[in-house]
Structure 1
Amino acid sequence: MSTTSEPTRPDAAEVDILDELKAELAQDLEEERPPHAGPLAQVAAGVVTLLIGVSGIVLSLGYGLGSLTRPGPGLWPFAVSVAVTALSLAQIAFGRDATDTEQFTRSSALTALGVVTMVALAALLPVVGFEVPSLVLMVIWLRFLGGESWRSTVVVSVVTVAAFYALFVLALAIPLPRLI
């Protein structure tokens, strides 16, 4: 004997309350959102990411691409940099009229700091190896950009770098610059 019950449909009063809550939430979100960016900001964002993509291509070529069967340490950064470059060109060409973008604000500096730390990681890899720059990057991103506690920052940073080491160095035998 089954005791399934039919789903109940909300009555008109419940629907009205839900509609009011949705409208209020949409209004609150719109009030908190920074002003829309104009076409100049769209092009500027595309140019900045284009420069990042091209820089990534150049840096990854310096690490060596290898082949698809024996990838070098620069192969995946190269692939990602090519994608960033292509998407940046598309943004410059077609994204000027987008209305779902926001003006640059003080919080935009966090993104810029994230990019600077990635460039520093790429510059430090051949000098001091994979482990230390990766650990420093994780700490900066989690603690200072993400606002995590020191405890979670240390645990997540160490575990993440150890996991990347195990995956890329031990399991896949990718010749990353290392301390050891």
Structure 2
Amino acid sequence: MTTPPGGAHRAGSPGGQAAAGAAPAAADSVPATIHDLEEAVHAVEAAEHEGRPPAAGPVANVVIAAAVVLLGIAALIGSGRLGLGSARVPDSGTWPLLVSILVVVLGIGLIAVARKTSDAERFTRTSWLVLAGLATMVVFVLVIEVIGFEIPAALLSFVWLRFLGGEGWRTSIVVSLGVVAAFYVIFVAALSVPIPHLF
């Protein structure tokens, strides 16, 4: 039996063993490196989305978009009741009408992309804060015609800052009063906007 030339040297010499082991080591290092990168990416994504509620899903997206459309339609009806006026002489409902049309268009757009979007979040306990904010806005609209905007606006700002936003008592009080003062100076004193006010 003959040995191939240099065969013993390649199999038994240190150089031959190193050459034989180099290829498997290099082959094993590539998957390990890719695996480490994938783990790092997943860790970053998990950190970014930590504490965020899961996505709502296509059905919930359609329901939300339909609610937006209905809200816009209701606002359109309310705008008509306020009086639309004309292009040259706009009435109280002119700007609400334009905003209502925009809301309806946006709602229809949300329906069109309901299957593709994942921005909407599933309803959780924190979602009640949004409903609470909406309820305070409804109360604000109902009482502003009776007692003016100053007190309702101050209370609304305070509730949003202190109870919905978690700000401190001092910050909530100071900012609420500052917002009302700035609103009064700009829209009532400077621009003479006809909004209900006490002073």
Q: Give the match for residue 106 of structure 2.
A: 87
1:43-87 alpha-carbon deviations (Å, 9 max, x no partner): 121123333333444445555566778766655444433322321
Contact 1:71–1:174 (8 Å) recurs in 2:
no
- AA at the equivalent of 1:113: A
Residues 141-150 or 49-58, more deviating: 49-58
Query: Cα offset for 1:139?
Result: 1.2
Q: Percent identity?
A: 43
Match of 2:138 among 119, 122, 137: 119
> Counterpart amino acid of 2:131?
A
Q: Is the partner of 2:188 in helix, strand or coil?
A: helix
The one of 177, 182, 196 equivalent to 1:163 is 182
Q: 1:134 to 1:177 in 2, by over 3 A?
A: same
Contact 1:73/1:175 (CA < 8 Å) preserved in 2? no
Paired positions, count: 162
Q: Name 1:14's counterpart in structure 2.
A: none
Read off the aligned partner of 2:193 and give its amino acid letter: I
The verdict on how the C-alpha distance between 1:58 and 1:105 changes in structure 2, with shifts beyond 3 A counting, is same
Bigger mean CA deviation after superposition, 151-160 or 82-91: 82-91
- Report 1 or 2 for greater relative contact order, CA contacts < 8 Å, sequence distance ≥ 6: 1
Any idea what SS the aligned residue of 1:32 has?
coil
Larger radius of gyration: 2
Q: Which residue of 1 aligns with 2:49?
A: 30
With normalisation by structure 1, the TM-score equals 0.73
In structure 2, the gaps of 5 or more residues are 1-37
How well do the aligned residues superpose, as a CA RMSD in angstroms?
A: 2.9
